[in-house]
Structure 1
Amino acid sequence: MSALLEVAGVSVSFDGFKAINDLSFEIDPASLRAIIGPNGAGKTTFMDIVTGKTRPDKGRVTWGEHNISLLRKSEAEIARLGIGRKFQRPTVFEDQTVFENLIMALKNPRNTWSTLFYKRTEPDIERVEGLAREIGLISELRRRSGELSHGQKQWLEIGMLLAQDPQLLLVDEPAAGMTVGEREHTTRLLREVAKTRSVIVVEHDMEFVRQLNCRVTVLHEGSVLAEGSLDHVTNDQRVIEVYLGRSGER
């Protein structure tokens, strides 16, 4: 099976600081991966490169079975190819209902004409209801999004990404600020999503990563330090030294 996403020999520097250093990484279709690492390891820069926000100094980033180079694509083009990104803080339209947020996010034509004359169709409504069930917000469809809890807003944003029908989701620290119950729901949601599409979770919370029960990649100084199960990587002496012997943030 060929990789869905392949990052090969990628490096990028900012003012002489090498944020990513000869990084090679790949993820298969319909799989779940957690990326961990100390502050300054390159986790955010990795996501920025994949989504087109940052251009690397060298290396290649290819997508899908046809090995499309993402380095020649804009952020919007990369999103249309099927890569969605969720930032740590939820960004939903708080004055709109859950239903309205989801229906606005549906993968429909986005030119001026189609937007002006868009009319809700029965398939669109059914799709929104299906998404709401998937993310656990079916009973909140008519509620203003600003009234949702922090965790519910996170789920809504995941639902808005799913509405675009991506093949890969990049999710940044989804467990931050959640209650225990919300974290458990988020674990189930991400594991379920990963049955049909790929999910990369960047996370600091080791207990949340353990609950995901997936392959883990450890980044350090912009490179892959270790890969495997959480137990495997946390017993790696190099990983122990990096987490216990390093401080500072970038």
Structure 2
Amino acid sequence: MSAPVTPTLLYLDNVSVSFDGFRALNSLSLAVDHAEMRAIIGPNGAGKTTMMDVITGKTRPNEGTALFEGSHDLTALDEAAIAELGIGRKFQTPTVFEMHSVEDNILLALKENRSPFATLLSRRTARERERIEALLERVRLTAHRHRKAGELSHGQKQWLEIGMLLAQQPKLLLIDEPAAGMTDQETADTADLLRDIAKTQAVVVVEHDMTFVRDLDVKVTCLHEGTVLAEGTLDAVSANERVVEVYLGR
């Protein structure tokens, strides 16, 4: 295996993506370290979703570099191969198996080479039970383990999907607007959960809720027209005149 090109976990350099003449990403450069949480903000059309599409292999850039763990060229891999490297993505709307229990949802997501049908019918190993227990506790759903996923609140479904993502043992989690539709308490609990995850894994959070972003207390990157407009603490980014003009609107 070749030596790492960069010590950062995720490294994007001069990445550009065009769709029918529209430049969704415009020489975007971004670096995320191991066990770092980064908040990505910006107006609609800023390139946030396209950036995540490039990282996960859904979209191929027209130019630029996208490296994972220094030596893996994400632009040369398909979505399945990128997921195997340890990149997990959670979309804004939670996707869970609503007719199955919370516990079974976690079981189905465990990183094992078995079919879902065989997984549900087989006996759980001691290792699987331990992992399920740990994941349920981590995402605050131990007391709800036997409930059908469809009975959970919106916020609890978000936590369950994060638990399912963690079951895949990712090194990098991409989380899209986790606070959308949550109660104030669920929002605060989600910030706590993501801060806990970021102690051991890298997390990139795309979010519009500035109160939630402040609760995360992490480095913020503001995108606009497919490139980085400002980067730093939330206070520093919020004070940037261009950010105020194009996004915050005050």
Tell whether the structures are fold-level matches, with TM greater than 0.5.
yes
Aligned residue number for residue 156 of structure 1: 160
- Tell me the number of residue pairs that the alignment of Structure 1 and Structure 2 aligns: 244
Where 1:142 maps in the other structure, the secondary structure is coil
1:38 matched to 2:48: no
CA distance in 2, matches of 1:109, 1:197: 23
Distance in 2 between residues matched to 1:179 and 1:151, nearest whole Å: 8
Deviates more, 1:191-200 or 1:116-125: 116-125
2:3 equivalent in structure 1 = none
* Uncovered stretches (5+) of structure 1, i.e. residues with no partner: 246-250
In 1, Cα distance between equivalents of 2:59 and 2:148: 34
Structure 2 contact 108–120 (Cα < 8 Å) conserved: no
Q: Aligned equivalents of 1:176 and 1:69: distance in 2?
A: 32
1:177-216 alignment runs, 5 A limit: 177-216=181-220
Detail structure 1 runs of 4+ shifted over 2 Å in the superposition: 110-119
Q: What is the root-mean-square deviation in Å for CA atoms of aligned residues?
A: 1.7
In the alignment, the residues of structure 2 paired with residue 112 and residue 103 of structure 1 have an alpha-carbon distance, to the nearest angstrom, of 9
SS at match of 1:71: helix
Q: Secondary structure at the match of 1:25?
A: strand
Cα distance in 2, alignment partners of residues 170 and 28 from structure 1: 14
SS of the equivalent of 1:136 reads coil
Aligned to 2:52: 47
| Aligned-pair CA distance for 1:244 | 5.4
Partner of 2:81: 77
* Match of residue 29, structure 1, among 10, 34, 41: 34
Structure-2 separation of matches of 1:112 and 1:151: 25
Instruction: Measure how far apart 1:45 and its partner are.
Output: 0.4
Specify the SS of the correspondent of 2:7: coil
Partner Cα distance (2:110, 2:128) in 1: 8
Matched, 1:64 2:63: no
- Determine the structure 2 residue equivalent to 1:4: 9
Residues in 1 aligned to 2:156 and 2:117: alpha-carbon distance in whole angstroms: 33
Shift of residue 113, structure 1, vs aligned partner:
11
Q: Name 2:90's counterpart in structure 1.
A: 86
Partner residue of 1:140 out of 130, 144, 159: 144
Shift of 1:120: 1.6
> 1:208-244, CA deviations, whole angstroms, 9 ceiling, x for partnerless residues?
0000000000000000011000000000111111125
Once the two structures are superposed, the pairs formed by residues 227-238 of structure 1 within 5 Å of their partners are 227-238=231-242
**What SS does structure 1 have at the residue aligned with 2:105?**
helix
Please state how far the C-alpha of 1:2 moved relative to its aligned partner: 1.4
Question: Percent of aligned pairs with the same residue?
Answer: 59
**Normalised TM-score (structure 1):** 0.94
Q: Aligned in 2, Cα 1:136/1:168: closer, same or farther, shift over 3 Å?
A: same
- Give the letter for the 1:43 counterpart: K
Match of 2:126 in 1: 122
Counterpart CA distance in 2 for 1:78 and 1:168 is 11
Deviation at 1:60, TM superposition (A): 1.1
Amino acid corresponding to residue 85 of structure 1 in structure 2: R
- Match of 1:239, SS state, is helix
- Identify if the C-alpha distance between structure 1 residues 90 and 81 changes in structure 2 by more than 3 Å, giving closer, same or farther: same
- After superposition, the Cα gap between the structure-2 partners of 1:193 and 1:125, relative to the gap in structure 1 and judged at 3 Å, is same
Q: Distance in 1 between matches of 2:105 and 2:242?
A: 44
Q: 1:110 to 1:56 in 2, by over 3 A?
A: farther
Paired residue type of 1:122: A
**Partner residue of 1:248?**
none
1:14 aligns with 2:14: no
Per-residue CA distance 1:43-63 (angstroms, 9 max, x = gap): 000000000000010111001
Distance 1:81 1:234 in 2: 35
